[in-house]
Structure 1
Amino acid sequence: MFLLVGPAGAAAPAVGMPGALQEAFTAAAQRYHVPTDVLLAVSYIESRWDAHAGRPSVSGGYGPMHLTDLRTALAQSRPVADGRDDTARTPDPSRTAALAASLTGLPEDRIRLDPAANITGGAALLASDQETLGQPLTTDPADWYGAVARYSGSGTQAAAADFADEVFDVIRSGEVRTTDSGQRVALAALPAVASPTAQVRAPGLPTGHSGHTECPSSLRCTWIPAPYEQYGPEPTDYGNHDLAERPKDSSIDYIVIHSTESTWDAAIGLVKEPTYLGWHYTVRSSDGAVAQHLATKDVGWHAGNWYINAKAIGIEHEGFLADPDAWFTEAMYRSSARLVRYLAHRFRIPMDRQHIIGHDNVPGLTADTVAGMHTDPGPYWDWAHYFRLLGVPFHAAAGSGAGVVTIDPSYSRNGPALTGCVSRDEPCTAHGSSAMLLHTAPSESAPLVKDAGLHPDGRSTSDVNDTGARVSAGQQYVVAGRRGGWTAIWYLGRKAWLRDPRRRRVTLPARAMVATPRRGQASIPVYGGAFPKASIFPTGIPVPADTTLQYRLPAGQSYVVGDKVTGEYYHSTMYNTAQQTWIRGTTYYEIQFGQRLGFVRASDVTLHRLR
């Protein structure tokens, strides 16, 4: 618990007390004559009001106001990347914590570590920016648009305006949230507040927008192309993607959310390498800037599953799945959501968890690839928040006792005991999560359910990269039973239990079309992709490897259907587009089989609607 005492001797409330964080915003706003709504909204965009236990972000930002101190962050051996192109603020933009300390008279370590002091420092910076711009300290939020843009520290007009627009969107819509310290903070909606964008126009600042990109006009997006070139003597020596004419020659059905597991610079270096892999977009952590690398019509090599690649757009997000506080910023979430909304509308992709998927939801294409599939963006990606930003929040769609449920734990209260974030078997720092672990019986002491593909000789683990016994927010499953405060679902061909207390449900009742094996079949195969049957392939086109996985769907079990699809195979194996062709045939259903998707042949199942 911290106690803030300013130079004038006025004590701010201790943040450990109920409602104290809200009071800290009010007190700081009054002290520096900043509208409370503006201060709250700036902090929400910077941190969603979280303090991250005093740990810095990738930009070296601390506390609810994201006050930066790159030197201290580096000294603490934190990975940092000053990615905002900060040139607009003096003194050193990488040390706004120091500037806040000089404005408030508070020690720098308190500015970094005490949430109330951090909020006070943020208010002082906003007031200073307002005065620097020659604007009065009024109570009208609209008068502060320019100061908010300047607070972002951005060196381009577009980036500063993006930040201010996001802040003012929050002011208009309002927000309520429980923070990572258990504090409930609320910002009432002010829908009539204007965004006077003229305040951010300044001579000499570039727009930050480039041609060639396929992005919404409101998003700062640059073109950094991935090379399509032959790099060796063989016609198969080319990279790092395939040319196509989607959606003319094939529909785009998925958007795959990745995390780079590297820094921005490293990821951009890799996507420029013809011998590596290509994806369509990368979103930067520090400020949400977007780079496009491939035209959406082309097929990137990003998902580790050729069927999904041929039908998907891949979006990488700078960061590491085991270190969400440093990398998964609100700026990144919001830019990504704006991009996905644009792409989903353009290509008519349903905005649900059967089509907006994580890399950790992509199945292995063949049995021998299952164990090596990627696990990003991982259990700390906030899917509920992301879908709320997409404008399609998860909600109950049926009455209590429904036969289908949508997974929807409270991110801040849900903290599965995971391991392996730093080293093998070492417990991860307690953290909110979208993911829940599944047990073989309705007991926390029961083993986790087994994934035959990942663990043929053992059971699943709680490792942060082990997807074998995990479900995530937004995914839908068929109810297999209920007992006490537990709900069982059908999962990977077996019954799996998750903790679902009556007074704090982690599931929402839903209705959906589900698939079950046709009568008379003891079980049916599950596939890693929807390829046509071998008999459909024309002479001269090699039949790809069998996509049957090591799982079976037993009689009596049902799984939620995401789509009815016609099997497709994109034959493109050489640096010669004249030999490319799409082969189509055989009807499948995509199902939510485990943490990852699966496919079953339509001829093997019957469908019915559960509600």
Structure 2
Amino acid sequence: MILILMFLPGLIKTQDLKNYFKLAGDEFGVPSELLEAIAFVNTRWVHIEPEKFAPPCDGRPPVYGIMGLRDDDWFGHSLVEGAKLLNLPIEVVKKDVYQNIRAGASLLAKFSSEKGLKKGVSRIEDYKDAVAKFSGIPQPEIAQIFAYDVYKALSTGFDGFGIKIEKMDVDLSIFPKNLFEKAGLKIVNPDEINSDDYPPAVWDPSPNYTANRPYTTRIVIHVTQGSFAGSVSWLKNPSSQASAHYVIRSSDGYIVQLVREKDKAWHARCWNNFTLGIEHEGYIENPQVWFTPIMYLESAKLVRNMVNRWSIPVDSNHIIGHNFWQQPQWPVVRREWDFATYDPASTYPTSCNNHTDPGPGWNWSYYLNLIRADQVAPKVVSVIPESGTRNFLAYKSVVINFSIPMDKLSVESNLVINPRDTVTLIWSSDQKTLEIKPNKFWEFSTTYTIKIDTGAKSVFGLKIDGDGDGVPGDPYIIEFTTTAPDVTPPAVVKGYPVGDGVSIYAEMKFVFNEPIESASLSSRVRLFDENDQIVSITSGRHIIKDDKSIVTFKPASVLMRDKTYKVKFLAGLKDLFGNATAEDYVFTFKTEPGFFYQGTLIDSFETIGSWWKPSQSGSTIGVDTTMTNFVITSEKKISGSNSGKLTYKFTGNAGGVVRVYNASKPGIADSYGDLGLWIYGDLSGNKLELWFYNPSNYIVDLGNINWYGWRFISLPISSIPGTSKQFHSIVVRQVSGADKEGELYFDDLQVGGKITSVYSSEIPLDFSLSQNYPNPFNSSTIIEFSLAVKSYVKIYVYDILGREISTIVDGEFESGVHRIKFEADDLPSGVYFYRLIAGKFSQTRKMILIK
């Protein structure tokens, strides 16, 4: 069992996507790694539905799905071809993520077969031309650029924003340095062909321009709404009637120049006469993925060079977006500034431009500050550890944060570590943070001095201001002393589940007192049932936070009621210094005996409704408001499509309160029985409270949040004194020594709900298996069955090929009507069957999973 880090890109989990890529790669005999990298270059693993995205401002045809399939006369008809190879309707390939990946895999297999390639025999580098053909780019030299981007993604790897591409040893020499001479390729190697206007850019001319632009007063920022290579291809297409002066790649800030600055590029319609245009790779709908720090930085360096040569002021009225017409100052600028002078067409009230790039996700203040940053000498704004620190943990990195982006080579060549040690230098993509990571760990009980000497410079050429007095040219020095040797293996300081009465929807969370070596963890985590049989687990995650390892996972299927289980961390678990546990860690728990009986819903948390965010309540105190919020999300739910998610972070050590208030203040009466809701706990140890009016304010302490996963929490309404009772708030109260931050989910607030031994008090006359509901379903569904007598019950789930997918029930049940929740988070869309066996009775029904 390997623990895998998981996120949610859009609505699809990372591991689900990786499973889809692997299934499709195995099915069609192509490397799944190539499918992952192609999807990364084309869409950053986002399933593109063009009707939900802003159209590109240059008229470029859209892409479809996570694989970026095409259906147009320039890039080709891979969408249609892929659907035909799968014998599926085009709309299915458009809408379904897994089928879109399968279509991409079938196309790559076709192109690979044409070149005689075979998976497991051919090197991954041998697929280069098949990958280029997959792009649909008609210019061979630019199609190779697409292939280069794919292989570069594999060679560097990527882990962030819900994308995880494993780093591979890829031979990039398949793209020779002298590509222009050997293969007619123009823009892979920027050292070969540079721009006359801006030397770091690569000159690759477009035919789409008008000679000699009459004026130069502004720079317009665009977003491509597509991939880099595809954008360059389109802007070189004569029939597109579109171009830009520059295009910048997201992953590394690589710049191509298509039109000379003195000439008019066709990028902003009636503004072309007096503007320079820069396209940035990406989609405005996903700025956090595409608008990378390195792209901002390289774009800012380009603009800084341009404004100096063309005497353009650095402000928001001269460096503008294509959406400038939407800005509040537009009516004045349009009427009174040079728009009217240089192009009368732009004096129309709404302008001749109606595009919205670069969108609200473009960080203008950061961007303009980068452009201006060469006026100030760089300095260190923070460092971990602080100079003079004692007992610094020997495995930890030194992290230095600079005020502005630094020239990496000059910093690294002026870095002195005494005593000398072997380290790895890791830069943030914006070149403002340097991590100095020991290759193994620092020597124990040793005082280190780290010096950044005076030759270190910013990317704009100013020397470092080491003492922060505003005068450049002095070194920066820190000193720290490491801890004594660590000879103790890791130990669990907090864990769940343990004890009795554990929810059948529980998940597992264990906190260790120090970081664990991930390699030792991956083969040593087990979940056993009471017969010592291994129970499958999924959604594994290992993170290191606050110098502790946190391990989470969950059963692949819902736990059985009234059963004993064991979580084991097998001996040999190691910390970062190699200290290994000599014995197994064993945690025993027993699930609650009853079934959940649904009451009358007050709120299903499908919409925000009357719920206030914590910041709107005066009772919320002692929190970081940027990290504390309440939203509706589809990440986790007990039923329906959504749940409420509360994230919180306390700023102090005690006294914090987070309140989520319901302005509708639903009325409750003793006759309703219990008030309850499903809560996904975070094992934080903080207090959970429910607040009522009766008619005064009345607080019910539900105890510490000492569980992880879903659990039904309820209390008798009669236990609340007073009359005219109203429920109004869910509150987390900080406990000294508990976690300062966490996240909770809430679902199905109700009256009358309870945990009982059977779902219905009426004994059925016969055995039956009902149709699951909802059906079709997304991620989870309810299966209901009736037993005339106490029986041993098994329910299996099969796929359309008859392969057993999961056992969701395996145990003895009382007579009555029972409901079981089936979780399908890890399954692809498709048709499945579920079969009930109870004594001599058996029945099978069909269900449809649509994601």
Indicate the structure whose relative CO is greater, using CA pairs within 8 Å and at least 6 residues apart: 1
Larger fraction in strand: 2
TM-score by length of 2: 0.31
State the structure with more CA Rg.
2
TM-score by length of 1: 0.41
